[in-house]
Amino acid sequence: MTLDTEPDLSDFSRIDFSNGAVAAVSGGSDSTALLLLLKAHLDRNAPATKLLAVTIDHRLRPQAAAEAQAVARLCAARGIAHRVLAWSGRKPSTGLPAAAREARYRLLAEAAEAAGIGLILTGHTADDQAETVLMRQTRDEWARDERPTDERPSDERPSDGGQSDDGRREEGRGLAGMAPATLYDWRHWIMRPLLGVRREALREFLRREQVAWIEDPTNADTAFERPRVRAALAEGDGAPRVAEAIALARKVAAEREQLGRRAAMLIRSLASRPAAGLVRLDRDFATESDSGAAIYALRILLAATGGTAFLPDQARSEALFGRLRTGPLCATLSRTVIDARRTGIFLHRELRDLPPAVEVSDNALWDGRRRITLGDSSSALLIAPLLVAPLGGALAAKRAIAGHGTPASLVRAALAAEPALWRDGECLGLPGEGPGLPGEGPMPAAVAAYPAVAPFARFLPSFDLAPADAVAALLGAAPVPASPFGGHSAGLPRAKA
């Protein structure tokens, strides 16, 4: 079995470019080839499409500014609009690749937003995919040996270099590699149309076009994880290892999508939201015969209720599911209280470690669970002194209205962890709900708090669209924007017999 060795434009034909495209171009071979191939495709098929090339200067090397100008000259010669954006501010002393990646996506999204474009393309290749899978295999082996054994799970942090596009390290499912499409910040699709193409094929294409590219020395700096893996794959047995890693990614991606669809069915049929911040699972959930899908659904719901960016530990989730089968319990995992009663299994945010009061700002993600938004600029000026902080137990007790078999104590506990608006120590109520209680001040109508779908609020890989859709519907969040890909598996390498 071998991988395709020629650039294949079929993935471009499956992408909807009606709202334009931002191409992330560093000047390296992969992104330069992406830009030229994309420009040729659009010139032939959609010449009126808005195309913007964006180069991010991370300000980590003195040569970066000159390299960005070289990209600008290439774009000018080809009639392509181009912007250079800089990652300003202090750089972290540890976790630099992960921080640079986060800054890059943020700046690309800002450029897309300013241009009125919802689609971002990057030049990740089959080589990048193989490197990612091999790095995650190593991390999974480490995790199995080094997983902490304390009662409460420790925070999982992305490792330096090669972390997933969704920023997470998770056993097994992470071996699906990079998704062909990832929704960033629930607004911008990041597409990787060249995941089925080897890097050398792209370089050969550039040689034929007589276009030079930039070699970033950090790509060979073995102080970081990805360059070490890249160097190992450059050795004699590299080609079969790349093919094996790609085959593994395809297999795990298919399994992950299938498991996600089964988990989504359980969420849609067995989960409800009796009150803000409170999720109820039917008692039948604990006896579900498809335990794999039930445990996966439980992990997603725990993360969504607790507002965490990571799914809870697999082993702890399996143990919790086993306990749910035995009868009533009250436990905490992933910042979520699990209260299993005769009337149902209830999930709500625990009251400890809630965010402190902060000034209201537009598009802020509060506690990983709520997206705070403001109205027009004049309204924003009027509400500048407002703070957002948890409602608290005393005020929640005034508001809690239980019904349909939901215990009032659980409604109060869930409401206590909801974001409320405050001014000068006085609660004005919950954002977007209208007038507050008697004695409370007037509610600013320009402030709203919409549910966010943790753990997918920041990065949603196309592998996980089904469960993300189900949780969005459950929580009353905005639906997932339509994918520009004609198929969610588009962009994965094809194999030849």
- Write down the pLDDT at residue 232: 75
- The domains of the chain are located at 2-251+481-496, 375-446
Helix (H) or strand (E) holding 182: strand 181-184
Residues 6+ positions from 436 with CB-CB distance below 8 Å: 427, 428, 429, 442, 443
CATH code reported for the domain at 2-251+481-496:
3.40.50.620
Residue 39's nearest CA partner among 85, 82, 6, 86 is 82
Instruction: Spell out the per-residue pLDDT of the chain, length 497, in tens.
Output: 344 444 554 578 889 999 999 999 999 999 999 999 999 999 999 999 999 999 999 988 888 899 999 999 999 999 999 999 999 888 888 888 788 889 999 999 999 999 999 899 999 999 999 999 988 888 765 444 443 333 222 222 233 233 333 334 455 788 999 999 999 999 999 999 999 999 999 999 999 999 999 987 666 666 667 778 877 777 777 788 888 999 999 999 999 999 999 999 999 999 999 999 999 999 999 999 999 999 999 999 999 999 999 999 999 999 999 999 998 999 999 999 999 999 999 999 999 999 999 999 888 999 999 999 887 644 544 545 789 999 998 888 777 665 666 888 999 999 999 999 998 888 888 886 654 444 444 555 678 899 999 999 999 999 999 999 999 999 999 999 988 875 444 334 443 33
Residue 406's nearest CA partner among 350, 451, 471, 341 is 341
Rounded Cα–Cα distance for residues 15 and 193 (Å): 9
Q: Which amino acid is at 318?
A: E
Ramachandran angles phi, psi of 444, nearest 5° = -65, 115
Whether the link from the prior residue into 455 is cis, omega within 30° of 0, is: yes
227 to each of 10, 96, 162, how far by Cα in Å?
A: 30, 14, 9
371 burial type by CB count under 10 A (0-12 exposed, 13-18 middle, 19+ buried): buried
3-state helix, strand, coil in the chain (%, to 5): 40, 20, 40
- Write down the pLDDT at residue 491: 37
| Cβ-based neighbour number of residue 232 at 10 Å | 14
